[in-house]
């Protein structure tokens, strides 16, 4: 299910990117998903096609309803959409977090009024709904958008292949090249998050201009970019697999010196054990596809999972859950709780 959802998202992103590259503007868009950076990038592209930069203040209206549908005056919205643009190619209206596409929805009469507005959109206007979440079980408004020639675009995190292409494109625009190892490491360090990746590329670009370099390799990534905390979690788990709780505690202390919150470390360790449980049973290709990790990470997960039995991995994952519960309920202080977890996990992993 998750894989199919991701494939649909990749297709929607590719379709919208290609259309905008061909300067094709639709009358209405519904944009949503968990990758806000890419959504903002696409919306900025739509704005660049729809608006004259000097007339943007006159021909563009942006409203963030913050989930309160009652703040949207549909009569005024209709009037705005029917008003021709001043000098821009289109009048553009961007509606953020309208709550018309999630449950509970506004009254049916308001939904039908918005449906009529969408159906009557003039060719001189462009309407964008930008939502955090969308429930497509109600077909009324999504169907009105598609029947009006619009597009429903769910934009989630890209897979590692698409992210690699995106990073290659961005690095070329910044006049440098990323090696394959550097690119994969950067994606993994940033957890496939485009906002974080963009920030790291900007930092890397400034350093390379100063150092007069044209190629960024893995060594440069390790020097300039954010620390590989997830790599540290691999090392911590490797120490636990050998029953070496002392080494695992040293890695934890290093992460603390890097100002990593204990709750984040616990989350990363818990997720890592969950991934190892999957890797214990799946072939590498399934790990890449379903866990959405680069091939080199899938290989490391597969190799590390072989050091544990399924029962031990399940017990370690359960121990993470219990520690998280005890910390959040105030039964134990977070640093002490994590240290006890590592000690317990070391004993458990060493037991035969």
Other beta carbons within 10 Å of 87: 10
Q: Which of 209, 224, 239 is the last residue of a domain?
A: 224
Instruction: Look up the pTM and report it.
Output: 0.74
Using CA atoms, how far apart are residues 130 and 95, in angstroms rounded to an integer? Answer: 6
Domain containing residue 263: 229-350
Number of domains making up the chain: 3
CATH number of the domain enclosing 294:
1.20.272.10
60 with 123, same domain: the answer is yes
Contact 291, 278 (CB under 8 A): yes
Using CA atoms, how far apart are residues 315 and 349, in angstroms rounded to an integer? Answer: 10
Is 50 exceeded by the pLDDT of residue 1? no
The token duo for 288 is 């890449």
218 with 248, same domain: the answer is no
132 with 195, same domain: the answer is no
Higher pLDDT, 20 or 2: 20
Query: Could you read off the pLDDT of 8-58 as tens digits, one per residue?
Result: 778 889 899 999 999 999 999 999 999 999 999 999 999 999 999 999 999
**What is the end-to-end Cα distance of the chain in Å, rounded?**
37
233 with 273, same domain: the answer is yes
92 with 135, same domain: the answer is yes
Contact 305, 298 (CB under 8 A): no
CATH number of the domain enclosing 59:
3.40.50.300
CA 117 to chain centre: 32
196 with 172, same domain: the answer is yes
Q: Which of 224, 255, 272 is the last residue of a domain?
A: 224
pLDDT of residue 259: 77
199 with 240, same domain: the answer is no
215 with 287, same domain: the answer is no
pLDDT of residue 4: 55
338 with 271, same domain: the answer is yes
164 with 256, same domain: the answer is no
Average pLDDT, the chain: 89
24 with 116, same domain: the answer is yes
Give the residue-averaged pLDDT of 217-244. Answer: 82
209 with 331, same domain: the answer is no
């Amino acid at each position: 299910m998750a894989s199919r959802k991701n494939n649909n998202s990749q297709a929607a992103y590719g379709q919208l990117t290609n259309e905008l590259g061909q300067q094709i503007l639709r009358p209405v868009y519904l944009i949503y998903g968990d990758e806000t950076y890419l959504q903002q990038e696409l919306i900025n592209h739509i704005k660049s096609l729809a608006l004259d930069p000097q007339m943007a203040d006159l021909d563009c209206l942006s409203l963030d309803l913050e989930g309160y549908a009652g703040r949207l005056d549909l009569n005024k919205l209709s009037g705005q959409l029917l008003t021709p643009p001043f000098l821009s190619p289109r009048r553009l209206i961007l509606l953020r977090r309208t709550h018309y596409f999630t449950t509970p929805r506004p009254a049916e009469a308001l939904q039908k009024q918005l449906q009529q507005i969408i159906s009557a959109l003039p060719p001189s206007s462009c309407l964008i709904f930008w939502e955090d979440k969308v429930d497509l079980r109600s077909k009324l408004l999504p169907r009105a958008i598609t029947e009006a020639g619009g597009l429903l675009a769910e934009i989630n995190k890209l897979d590692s292949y698409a992210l690699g292409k995106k990073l290659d494109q961005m690095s070329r625009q910044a006049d440098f090249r990323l090696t394959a190892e550097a690119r994969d490491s950067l994606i993994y360090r940033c957890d496939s998050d485009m906002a974080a990746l963009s920030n790291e590329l900007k930092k890397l670009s400034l350093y390379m201009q100063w150092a007069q370099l044209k190629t960024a390799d893995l060594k440069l990534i390790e020097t300039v970019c954010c620390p590989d905390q997830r790599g540290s979690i691999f090392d911590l788990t490797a120490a636990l697999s050998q029953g070496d709780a002392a080494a695992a505690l040293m890695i934890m202390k290093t992460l603390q010196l890097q100002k990593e919150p204990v709750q984040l470390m616990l989350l990363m360790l818990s997720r890592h054990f969950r991934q190892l449980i999957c890797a214990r049973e799946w072939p590498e290709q399934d790990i890449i596809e379903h866990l959405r990790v680069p091939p080199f990470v899938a290989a490391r997960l597969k190799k590390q999972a072989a050091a544990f039995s399924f029962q031990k991995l399940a017990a370690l994952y359960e121990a993470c859950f219990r520690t998280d519960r005890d910390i959040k309920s105030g039964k134990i202080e977070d640093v002490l709780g994590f240290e006890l977890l590592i000690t317990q996990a070391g004993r458990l992993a060493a037991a035969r």
